[in-house]
Amino acid sequence: MTSTANDTRTKRNVAVLVAAQAILGAQMPMLFVVGGLAGGMLADNPCFATLPISLIVFGSMSTAPWLSPLMQRYGRRAGFFIGAAGGALGAGISAYALYINSFHVFLIGSYFTGIYMSAQGFYRFAAADSASAEFRPKAISYVMSGGLLSAIVGPQLNKLVFDATYLPVFGGIFLPNPFMGTYLAIIGLNLIGMFLFLLLDLPDPDKADDKAHHGATVRTKMELLRTPTVLVAIICAMVSYSLMNLVMTSTPLAVLGCGFTGNNANDIVSAHVLAMFIPSFFTGHLIVRFGTTRVISAGLIILALAGITALAGVTLGNFFVALILLGIGWNFGFVGATSLLATTHASHERGRAQGLNDMMVFGCVTVASLASGGLMNCAGGTATAGWHAVNIAMLPFLILAGSALVWLTLVGTRNKRPSA
């Protein structure tokens, strides 16, 4: 099949995946606003307020190693349906936990939500499956841009159901506990969004398997990690995503702790998520023109500027600017790292390579979200001191990723993508 035909097919899939990012992805900003607040309401110890968000990320980390090979064998669509079902189930369990006032049940619901988060992470890889080498970074970038609509839909929908006591559906539903409306709305998003996957026209998964069965070598996980480009791509993805999660998880707690309102927190998170995805309209073009390492480097610098802005003050302006920079930095770093990883493995290795990548990325993000609550609520005794501790914690990880990029430049980009 020619590159032009591949890219025609890819563009259709990109459109479907953009819609999926917009509808299904709307639940993520809702969860990150409400998860820490609901956790703080249910948990006995305020240091565990962000543990539900950590369980979402842990669920994503532990799902990636089995979901990626499953999609390698049965196709992306099967994995995406599983993800949407996990999101609906997780939201249902979380709503029930709020009803019975159980923190432990709430954590179980959060874990199942992580199944959706893991599946969503593979949307970007699905866009690249049938793309030509030239169009691949653009396809990844365009799919990520679907988060732009989710950044609008999620927080605005959350404003309507946040702290709602009554939902005018099915004859009217009375909600006895705060935040239940958010989780009921998330169930609806998952059930509606999963029908989009019927429109995907993705490559036959058996074709990749046939190559593996006809003598093509599939590298082990350790062999993949010993490839410099693979290792650096994973490190940069880990750092970009973890630092974004570290700061964003604490943001609603910091905003309310500094005397602002829940609507302020929703607006700040909305601005942040917009900043995460608006650059996706041109990140792919920047990668094609300047290369992945330069775009990743720019992302790390912008993440550092976000931390500096947050440390400079706790006004609404500081919160908005810091979170906007955080979103842009994440986009450049994460999209760049994803594009870099896509050049390092053949099609028959993608299940192992992509599963390894997301397991390590979301493992690090789990640690970051756990640390976020501890730093925010248990470092210094005040909201301002906790917020400063969160942002200071970014420094060593930025140094790690920056050093990895320098090392990759020194050793060269040997062992690039094997021939398929």
pLDDT value for 177:
72
> Is 212 within a domain?
no
Tokens 């036959």 found at? 204
Q: Tens digit of pLDDT for each residue in 313-362?
A: 999 999 999 999 999 999 999 989 988 887 777 777 777 887 888 888 88
* CA 373 – CA 376 distance, rounded (Å): 5
Helix, strand or coil, per DSSP, at residue 167: strand
- Mean pLDDT, residues 31-59 taken together: 83
User: Where would I find the H helices in 24-75?
Assistant: 27-42, 51-74
Percent of the chain scoring above 90 in pLDDT: 31
Q: Could you tell me the end-to-end alpha-carbon distance of the chain, in angstroms, rounded to an integer?
A: 14
Nearest Cα residue to 84 out of 205, 231, 206, 198: 198
- 420 assigned to some structural domain: no
Each residue of 97-107: pLDDT tens digit?
988 889 999 99
Domain extent, residue 100, equals: 3-198+218-411
Q: What is residue 377's predicted lDDT score, i.e. its pLDDT?
A: 78
Residue 179 covered by a domain: yes
CB atoms within 10 A of CB 334: 25
CATH, residue 67: 1.20.1250.20
CB 20 within 8 A of CB 80: yes
The C-alpha atoms of residue 103 and residue 365 are separated, in whole angstroms, by 21
β strands within 63-195, DSSP E: 166-167, 173-174
Phi, psi dihedrals of residue 117, rounded to the nearest 5°: -60, -40
Question: Residue 123 CB: number of other CB atoms within 10 A?
Answer: 25
- In this structure, what token pair is assigned to residue 370? 């756990």
Tell me which residue of 307, 334, 323 sits closest to 270, measured CA to CA. 323
| 3 state SS of 377 | helix
pLDDT band at 261 (very low <50, low <70, confident <90, very high): confident
**Is residue 37 included in any domain, yes or no?**
yes
Residue 414: other Cβ atoms inside 10 A: 8
Whole-number Å distance between alpha carbons of 416 and 174 = 57
Give the pLDDT of residue 419: 43
Domain annotation covers residue 144: yes
DSSP secondary structure letter of residue 415:
S
What's the Rg (C-alpha) of the chain? 20
Domain presence at residue 207: no
Query: What's the pLDDT at 243?
Result: 94
155-194 confidence digits (pLDDT tens): 788 878 776 665 555 555 666 677 888 898 899 999 988 8
Return the pLDDT at 37. 81
Task: Band the pLDDT of 420: cuts 50, 70, 90.
Answer: very low
Give the separation between CA 410 and CA 202, rounded to whole angstroms: 38
Residue 360 falls inside a structural domain: yes
User: Rounded to 10 degrees, what is the CA torsion of 272, 154, 280, 127?
Assistant: 140
CA distance to 213, 237, 383, per residue, from 338 (Å):
27, 7, 35
Structure confidence at residue 276 (pLDDT): 86
Q: Which among 239, 238, 251, 255 is positioned nearest to 360, based on CA atoms? A: 238
Number of domains into which the chain is organized: 1
Residue 152: alpha-carbon gap to chain centroid: 16
| pLDDT digits 0-9 by tens, 280-316 | 888 888 988 899 999 999 999 999 999 999 999 999 9
How many residues make up the chain in this entry?
420
Q: How confident is the model at residue 210 (pLDDT cuts 50, 70, 90)?
A: very low
Other residues' Cβ atoms within 10 Å of the Cβ of residue 402: 17
In a domain, 336, yes or no: yes
Q: Global pTM?
A: 0.73
**Cα–Cα dist 413/136, whole Å:** 19
Average pLDDT value for residue range 68-95:
91
